[in-house]
Structure 1
Amino acid sequence: MELTVVALLIMVIATMWSAIERKVDKLNRRTAQLTRKVDLILEHLGIEEPQPDLAPVRALVVEGKKIHAVKAYREITGADLKEAKEAVDRMG
């Protein structure tokens, strides 16, 4: 009896996981399409995305304040934690 319940739960979870993966894949494809379209519009209009001023981040790296530098990088760029840490590591 318990084994049947566990097997049923595993099947339900696997089905739900598969549905979630399909939805995430669809959202990722749609995001990529929209990003390409926005890039084309900006290019057509001759608009370049301004590069963020990372001088405050570099200053924190020089001072050895790596955690503060990661936080500042995230605030300036909107990057996630992993991306910010990797960028700060490349600076130091």
Structure 2
Amino acid sequence: MFLLLVLLLLIGAAGWATSAVLLRVQRLERRVDRMDRRLGLILDHLGVVEPEPAGMDGVRALLRDGRTVEAVKAYRAATGADLVEAKAAVESMSGHA
């Protein structure tokens, strides 16, 4: 019985700790999103245009050839984007978003 009580307390503590960490991560993600929007506004105001990463011509060539999967891989290699971000970007480049 004592072991069961200790186990339940440990599970509860782990759940609380996980919840606290997730809430902190969500707050940090919102803060980063706000900062990213502000930085975008500043760059737009200053007329600063972010240069296109090297390798994007190859991505567009793969898209023209209908090789979408290879284009996503090339986009990831050129930008360091994750799979979801790369897929969305390539789809928007091809007009299928």
Q: Same fold (TM over 0.5)?
A: yes
The aligned counterpart of 2:12 is 11
Unaligned runs of 5+ in 2: none
Distance across 2 between alignment mates of 1:39 and 1:65: 29
Query: What is the number of residues matched between the two proteins?
Result: 91
| Pair 83,40 (structure 1): closer, same or farther in 2 beyond 3 Å | closer
- Report 1 or 2 for greater relative contact order, CA contacts < 8 Å, sequence distance ≥ 6: 1
Q: TM-score, normalised by structure 1?
A: 0.71
The aligned counterpart of 1:71 is 73
The aligned counterpart of 2:21 is 20
**Paired amino acid for 2:8:** A
1:50-69 correspondence runs (5 A): 50-52=51-53, 54-60=56-62, 62=65, 64=67, 66=69, 68-69=70-71
Q: Identity over the aligned pairs, expressed in percent?
A: 46
Unaligned runs of 5+ in 1: none
Give CA deviations for 1:42-92 in whole Å, capped at 9, x if unaligned: 1121112234452212444537483x4333211222211222244456749
Distance across 2 between alignment mates of 1:89 and 1:43: 25
Distance across 2 between alignment mates of 1:30 and 1:86: 23
Root mean square deviation, CA, Å: 2.7
Question: Mean Cα displacement is larger for which, 15-24 or 76-85?
Answer: 76-85
Task: Please tell me whether residue 49 in structure 1 is matched to residue 87 in structure 2.
Answer: no
The aligned counterpart of 1:39 is 40
| Pair 39,56 (structure 1): closer, same or farther in 2 beyond 3 Å | same
Distance across 2 between alignment mates of 1:84 and 1:55: 15
